[in-house]
C-alpha cells in the first residue's frame, strides 16, 4: 500500500493521473457496482468521483481512495486527467462521451 495525496501539482505530467492521487470516490463506483458518471476537480484541487445516481453526501457513501480504484473499472476516466480546476465531467452512461463544464460545490 502506498501513500495517497489529497491534491498534487496540476497539470499532471504526461496528462496522466498520478498513481498516488487520492479522490473522494463513491463506494458504488469503487466496487464496480455502478459506473462513474461524474468526475469533479474542485477549486481546492481535489478530485471527486460519483455514480451520478446516489447521494454522495450520505454517511458511508464515499471514501478517500486512490483515484485509480475507480479508473480500474473504467479506463475512459483516464482522458479526464486534464480536467481544469473548478470543472467537472459528466456522462449519461458508460461508453457515452464525457461532457465538460465549470462547476462549484454547493454549500
Q: What is the pLDDT of residues 33-69, one digit of tens each?
A: 999 999 999 999 999 999 999 999 899 999 999 999 8
At residue 105, the pLDDT reads 72
CA atoms within 13 A on the CB side of 77: 28
For the cut 70, the answer to whether the pLDDT of residue 107 exceeds it is no
User: Where residue 7 falls among pLDDT bands split at 50, 70, 90?
Assistant: confident
Residues for the chain: how many in total? 107
What percent of the chain is predicted at pLDDT more than 90? 81
Question: 24 pairs with which residues across the strands?
Answer: 48, 64
Amino acid at each position: 500500500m502506498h501513500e495517497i495525496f489529497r491534491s498534487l501539482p496540476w497539470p499532471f505530467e504526461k496528462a496522466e493521473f498520478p498513481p498516488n492521487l487520492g479522490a473522494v470516490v463513491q463506494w458504488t463506483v469503487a466496487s464496480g457496482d455502478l459506473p462513474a458518471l461524474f468526475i469533479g476537480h474542485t477549486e481546492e484541487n481535489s478530485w471527486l468521483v460519483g455514480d451520478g445516481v446516489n447521494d454522495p453526501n450520505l454517511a458511508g457513501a464515499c471514501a478517500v481512495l486512490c483515484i485509480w480504484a475507480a479508473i480500474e473499472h473504467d479506463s475512459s476516466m483516464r482522458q479526464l486527467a486534464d480536467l481544469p480546476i473548478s470543472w467537472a465531467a459528466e456522462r449519461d452512461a458508460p461508453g457515452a462521451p464525457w461532457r465538460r463544464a465549470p462547476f462549484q460545490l454547493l454549500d
